[in-house]
Structure 1
């Protein structure tokens, strides 16, 4: 059964790169840089047609849209010249002018533009798993955080590895851990993992590919200096899909290939899965080695080492994600709580669960905000309110309070939760006095702009309330609900009737 095509690209009869593509309608053409396309051998799918970039944008002999190839069954394809000005030359001396098409059996070799220029060889790949020289480790890879258990391969190999090689193995493991510990983030992990595979296992090149929107995308790669300038080869789609499906490490030990079978050098490859903490495949760590000469084939030990490095990369990514999530949560907490309390809550998230607590609630807002705001521009309004409420917020945090919410020109704060504070009423009262005491400083910055001195009114009430995360899954909001909270709001509103800036109920 035909599953995919092997596409090899040559320039002046020298191999440039190779890749695999599904056996479906395929367009060959030059990079469209203005459309944001990457250089060869990038692939794109548009309106059901897969597009393969076979030449960079500066290669003017190749049209942006040059050839369209469609499978016809029984190993035959239909080739159409979709270029408006340039021909296609086939290996059987046939020439396809713009707009012309023909059917032919695979494999096919076609030159785009002039003969001997950019040449593409297309070969059908038969997927016959039981006959191909593909080996795998017996067990699926373990996700980050899974219980550690002895791998059968390691137990066997440990007894067979000579002492000299065992020293190399231990040195490799130490180096791998150093690499992963020095990585700063996801992209850094990928780049260092690819380089480590090349340098420590002795491969010619390595890459990290991630599954994005159902497609394999290369996010990092490394090539050994000894292999610099060698033709590039895309990862085997078939091997990638097997790794993703079975979550096991595979390596290929081809029996060899003659020049009639392929114009490219035969390669041995190894591919190990990179899993997330839930065991899903995020991507693959993929390496290859040119087969031939004095180069040794890939071994089971090397496959195990590549899997260990892929597992270390996965663990490092999981740790990085946890650290980022913790940092994000800490920032979120510090928007509501004083830094010391935020750090305590990181270790005791149970304190955020809903419960009844004795609290003191403070409301404050800007007196005559509507009248003053009409004289200001939108930019001045935002800056003024932010400055005023920011100064009030500092007073709340200085007394260990929780910044519950901002609504327009008003602020709500609370004491007594999430951690009990026996002196919550006194803290709230001191914060209220500090808010009013700080108004002159705000007026020194804004009175000339406002045209009058700013005033703030504050109301405080104490009593039992339901406290907890009163927000939703979309937005965190730690606060209080109940009659005593509503009463605190009404107390603040009553300040204008009593012609005072501060009202505090009896605790």
Structure 2
């Protein structure tokens, strides 16, 4: 009875390349099919009866594959048979042939079937009793692997044995190794690299023909990439790799030697003119066979001069060269992946730098998890260009776009100068955030500094925007709020958009709009004010009920030198006058909130004698006068202002 068995390799073809899904040896009949139910697991073999095993090769949803699709078995003389046992589904072979239900196909040594467009199954017949093939004792090393100390000692021992009259003198071995090392130093990206390796097989090992082969996973065939024939055998036929030898190389991932060419009756068709064969696998870093170095010593039929056998020393040289090719291919792959990663990193860095500072962009590339959605404390800023509707109608579409772009460039620089994140541009409005994705302890302080920089840039913006022909000098309105928000992808599964979401954001937007009512430029909430150190620069404007929000919000104005022409004053004068307006206004506000409307009006008129165009003072004065005129009952008085304009 034959002791041969099947070596099965299941490979999926993905956009990244080939992915090995299952590899094992099977004795007897192997039944293939798709999942019957959830109890059956993909690629988990199950013994049905002695000598019969079932292997699930497709998921339940793959209706093009039957639950009982095929049977595969070995036959005498290293043949393999596949029979389509499905009542209706066609089975596709690796060569493109369709095998109808009920029919069989027999091949020698190996066979390939396809499952859909992405899965390929290889069957190789392995006969352990075939003494015509001999392998090297150790498996071929994959790129990145190394010999264990014991294995290294054994191989050094083999070389030492040659000194005592082994297969070849030590000097010859060292010379061959020197040539092999020289070959391995060849640049794998050289366009003639494979030709050089095929030639090296012939010249260093002393073969008649040498070739570099690559394994075609889809068809199961070995493709000759390059071959070299000894000049004395110029009329020799081209390389046709032995299927018997290559099946063993593929299944066992080892170097094999064939030295039984005298028994011509036993040779397969591809070995009729071959005396000796050696083949060493080319492995990838996952120890999958992707190719081989293959060589022959030939004797044509009727030849009388015997050719020397291929020794283990010969095979070791071939294996060494194959390992060198594998390493070279991995280096090329590594370099390509490195270039790809560098390009992707550059593109990601460029994209990130549109919204983040350069240092933060680099952090995000190194640690993408910072972009994951989470709840954290942030400060959100909204900045709006005042009079946009009027100016866009006046300028027309093209000039409006150019004007807004120039303004947003300047405002964006202010955000990034203070380590902020640009979240969005909504028409004439910019949205920015601090505190995420990278934690910032002083996020509120940084946001206020950026806002001050925006207001302080107004003179420069007004000068630079004169070329657009604005009908009035441009102005800005900024609103800031701090608190907890959900930060992450606020877009959709189709379009990523990083930013904050929640009530903290809504309040910041409403606060920005209050600037229109109060005729101010920079407003912030009490939540932001309590997180900054420069408290003296902010005055409490009042408590406001904002549109579509249930709770009222304490609002503060941050004063900048431009306020009431303070930019013409010295530094000491600026601080003195800011202190005056803050103290006098807040006393008037306190009178108002205690329903002392007359006292409030008196104080506010005093403020206007020094700061005649102060927006909050004019707003509070109008409110106090309104309550005086309507004779509001102090017991029924509500101190919260309505700020319902969004």
Aligned to 1:40: none
- Aligned CA RMSD, in angstroms, stands at 5.9
Q: 1 CA distance for matches of 2:183 and 2:341?
A: 28
- Where does 1:330-479 land on structure 2 (aligned, <5 Å)? 331-336=347-352, 337-347=356-366, 359-364=378-383, 367-368=388-389, 393-405=412-424, 411-417=430-436, 418=438, 420=440, 422=442, 424-426=446-448, 428-429=450-451, 432-433=454-455, 459-463=479-483, 465=485, 479=499
SS of aligned partner of 2:419: coil
From the superposition, tell whether residues 289 and 358 of structure 1 become closer, same or farther in structure 2 (CA, over 3 Å): same
Conserved? CA contact 1:2–1:23, under 8 Å: no
Conserved? CA contact 1:243–1:284, under 8 Å: no
Aligned to 2:508: 488
From the superposition, tell whether residues 355 and 253 of structure 1 become closer, same or farther in structure 2 (CA, over 3 Å): same
Q: 2 CA distance for matches of 1:75 and 1:393?
A: 71
Q: 2 CA distance for matches of 1:473 and 1:74?
A: 48
Aligned to 2:291: 285
- Where does 1:176-255 land on structure 2 (aligned, <5 Å)? 176=184, 179=187, 183=189, 194=194, 197-198=197-198, 200-202=200-202, 204-209=210-215, 211=217, 214-215=218-219, 221-224=225-228, 232-233=238-239, 245-246=251-252, 248-255=253-260
From the superposition, tell whether residues 490 and 343 of structure 1 become closer, same or farther in structure 2 (CA, over 3 Å): same
Unaligned runs of 5+ in 1: 4-20, 26-45, 54-67, 77-124
Aligned to 1:165: 173
From the superposition, tell whether residues 164 and 489 of structure 1 become closer, same or farther in structure 2 (CA, over 3 Å): farther
Q: Which has the larger radius of gyration?
A: 2
From the superposition, tell whether residues 175 and 127 of structure 1 become closer, same or farther in structure 2 (CA, over 3 Å): closer
Conserved? CA contact 1:335–1:403, under 8 Å: no
Shift of 1:75: 7.5
SS of aligned partner of 2:298: coil
TM-score (norm. length: structure 2): 0.44
> What is the aligned counterpart of 2:279 among 270, 281, 285?
270
Shift of 1:331: 3.2
From the superposition, tell whether residues 231 and 430 of structure 1 become closer, same or farther in structure 2 (CA, over 3 Å): farther
SS of aligned partner of 1:204: strand
Shift of 1:400: 3.3
Q: 2 CA distance for matches of 1:453 and 1:167?
A: 86
Q: 2 CA distance for matches of 1:395 and 1:237?
A: 70
Q: 2 CA distance for matches of 1:225 and 1:381?
A: 74
Conserved? CA contact 2:282–2:293, under 8 Å: no
From the superposition, tell whether residues 405 and 136 of structure 1 become closer, same or farther in structure 2 (CA, over 3 Å): farther
From the superposition, tell whether residues 335 and 158 of structure 1 become closer, same or farther in structure 2 (CA, over 3 Å): same
> What is the aligned counterpart of 1:310 among 314, 317, 326?
326
Shift of 1:290: 3.4
Shift of 1:206: 1.0
> What is the aligned counterpart of 2:154 among 147, 153, 156?
156
Conserved? CA contact 1:469–1:478, under 8 Å: yes
Aligned length in residues: 389
Shift of 1:328: 2.2
Q: 1 CA distance for matches of 2:439 and 2:384?
A: 26
Conserved? CA contact 2:82–2:104, under 8 Å: no
SS of aligned partner of 1:249: coil
Q: Residues 17-37 of structure 1, C-alpha deviation per residue, up to 9 Å, x if partnerless? A: xxxx99889xxxxxxxxxxxx
Q: Residues 337-383 of structure 1, C-alpha deviation per residue, up to 9 Å, x if partnerless? A: 333333345556676667776543334567449977xx769xx9999
Q: 1 CA distance for matches of 2:223 and 2:478?
A: 55
Shift of 1:150: 1.4
Conserved? CA contact 2:256–2:280, under 8 Å: yes
Q: 2 CA distance for matches of 1:441 and 1:218?
A: 73
From the superposition, tell whether residues 348 and 51 of structure 1 become closer, same or farther in structure 2 (CA, over 3 Å): closer
Shift of 1:432: 3.8
The answer to which structure has the higher helix fraction is 2
Shift of 1:222: 3.5
Unaligned runs of 5+ in 2: 7-78, 84-89, 108-123, 160-169, 203-208, 300-306, 533-646
From the superposition, tell whether residues 454 and 175 of structure 1 become closer, same or farther in structure 2 (CA, over 3 Å): farther
